[in-house]
Amino acid sequence: MMFLPKIWSSKDESSVDDVSPTSHSDAGPLDSSKTPAVTNAERDSHEKSEDDEVQKGVEEVEASVKVWSPFHIYLAWAFIWLVYFADSMHSGMGVTLTAYVTSSFSKHGLTATTGVFSQLIGALIKLPLAKVLDIWGRPQGVALTVFFMVVGLIMMAACQNVETYAAAQVFYWVGFNGVGYSLLVFTADTSALKNRAFVFAFINTPFIISTPTSGYAAERFVANGPQGWRWAFGAFSIVVPVVVAPIFFLFLYNHRKAKRMGALPPRQPSGRTLLQSVKYYVIQFDLFGILLAATGMALFLLPFNIYSYQKEGWHSPMIICMLVFGIVIIALFALYEKYLAPVKFIPFELLVDRTIIGACLTVSLSFISFYIWSAFFSSFLQVVTGASIVQATWVGRIYNIGSCFWGLIVGVLIRWTGRFKWLSLYFGVPLQILGAGLMIYFRQPGRPLGYIVMAQIFIAVAGGTLVICEQIAIMAAVAHKHVAVVLALLAMFSSIGGAIGSTVSAAIWTGVFPKKVQEYLPAEAKQDAPLIIASLPKQLSYPVGSAARLAIDKAYGDAQRIMMISATSVLIVTIFTVAMWRDLKVKDFDRRTNVKN
């Protein structure tokens, strides 16, 4: 227990060094010499107003943290651990159950597609959420995101088609990512930078436990019948708010305690009417820019997912229109952000720092690779290797178990050495490329499952290294008051990478698997090809070793080979993106200012 008090940033620690972030060379891109001048008067007025309000919010958070007792800090981390456990349970079940949801509507090929738009919205909403946390407070951010998650779970439980399920995914992932992000920011608020890697790794350890339990739970729900997945989502729409309630009320208690002690000066009324406030926050959160970006990227990416469902394929007028309008809207978004947006929702001034842009590109490329190979992995394990739902969940979640366990070791290493760059460059990146490359050969029919597990372990250990190091790298590059923003930036790049990866996966699947099934099926089973392509239960209905099952296995292998080659190729670029990071020693950084003591 002697280690624990040193993890938490004490009340006096924040006053150790009052050096301005702009006075140190390691403070990142935030000094005035690197900040582009703003000449537009209206934009300057909006940004000044925003900066004042955000700064007050950050100061309130820092003042509020000072009144937290060590016991309440540890209790909060324990509650956060419980929230992460519940989240990891229903997200783990969701990965397995999505294939059964799409199959129940005879749309198994859309398994990867259902998450594309939700990942985009979930990515773009994180930067406005960072402002919500800084302006309104951590408790309000948690409450708002829990509401979205519960709405999404209820919609998934009640959906009657794939379209509604995809819409529910938007609400769910906005809430899921938002809750995790809000609690991650609180953890950063209450831990020293040198210890933050270990604390971040600790709050993610629930994945180690939830992986086997979520598999058993998913199997039990599926065993209840074709609609069993509805009960899974419905149950967690009740569990989630119950589990989040303790940490929410602990936040409120300490916030009010800070007010009673005078640590939080009363906020002055804004003087705005309701309509003026709505207009103000629409501008401050750049909702129009978010809408343009999400619409443009969705219209551009979705055709790669659904073109095979159109009779004319790529020549379909709908597909062509979506591509054209997507490109046009993305271009309009860029022009709007450059010339018209009073407040830009992407902090471009931060992206001039090579450590920040390097970390963002690394996480984006890693997520592109991960989502290319993971979307149909559970189906592959059940069909080709004959694994049960529990076994498929175990193998499919090796990444979560391994990366969370290894993250603890990485956290201790960073605390001991104070370094993170070389751990990523010489260990994490090569091992991740090796693991993905091995799956090109081993993820085929007839290959022993043990070798697939071995490759998954390599990827898990590499992922546990890179995820922690990416977070520490991007936080070490800025002052503490910008931590919420850069964590949101990192999360945004990861979600966009996930959306791109899902799109590539769906494009490969829809372009390869249906054709190969038609080609390999024996004559007596060809009439069932459309149903086989559309339904996982139908694929599993053929006995292992039968001619039809072997044909399906071979079609899976052809699609998986192309997926793994694509996933491995993307990872090669991470060698250069990690090399961009500055070699910062986090032992020397103060928690509040994030500069050397």
pLDDT digits (tens, 9 = 90+) for 179-203: 888 888 888 878 777 788 888 888 8
Query: Does residue 337 form part of some domain?
Result: yes
Q: Do 242 and 312 lie in a common domain? A: no
Q: Do 305 and 424 lie in a common domain? A: no
Q: Which domain holds residue 395?
A: 50-262+273-286+342-584
**Helix, strand or coil for residue 517?**
helix
Q: Do 70 and 140 lie in a common domain? A: yes
pLDDT at 345 over 80: no
**What pLDDT, on a 0 to 100 scale, did the predictor assign at position 81?**
92
Q: Do 437 and 514 lie in a common domain? A: yes
CA distance 17 to 235: 49
Q: Do 325 and 447 lie in a common domain? A: no
**What pLDDT, on a 0 to 100 scale, did the predictor assign at position 7?**
42
pLDDT at 369 over 60: yes
**Residue with more model confidence, 217 or 21:** 217
pLDDT at 537 over 60: yes
Give percent of the chain with pLDDT exceeding 90: 26
Average pLDDT, the chain: 80
pLDDT at 426 over 80: yes
**What pLDDT, on a 0 to 100 scale, did the predictor assign at position 56?**
59
The domain boundary, picked from 341, 360, 382, lies at: 341
**Residue with more model confidence, 499 or 266:** 499
**Helix, strand or coil for residue 589?**
strand
**What pLDDT, on a 0 to 100 scale, did the predictor assign at position 590?**
53
Of how many residues is the chain composed?
Answer: 597
What is the arithmetic mean of pLDDT over 250-259? 85
What is the arithmetic mean of pLDDT over 469-475? 90
At residue 10 the predicted structure's pLDDT band, cuts being 50, 70 and 90, is very low
Q: How far is CA 54 from CA 130, 132, 264, 397, in A?
A: 10, 9, 15, 38
Burial class (CB in 10 A: 0-12, 13-18, 19+), 42: exposed
Q: How many CB atoms lie within 10 A of CB 39?
A: 7
Q: Which range scores top for mean pLDDT: 267-271, 312-316, 356-360, 530-534?
A: 356-360
**What pLDDT, on a 0 to 100 scale, did the predictor assign at position 187?**
85
Query: Does residue 399 form part of some domain?
Result: yes
Query: Does residue 26 form part of some domain?
Result: no
Q: Do 292 and 405 lie in a common domain? A: no
What is the arithmetic mean of pLDDT over 389-397? 82
CA distance 267 to 135: 11
The domain boundary, picked from 297, 320, 341, lies at: 341
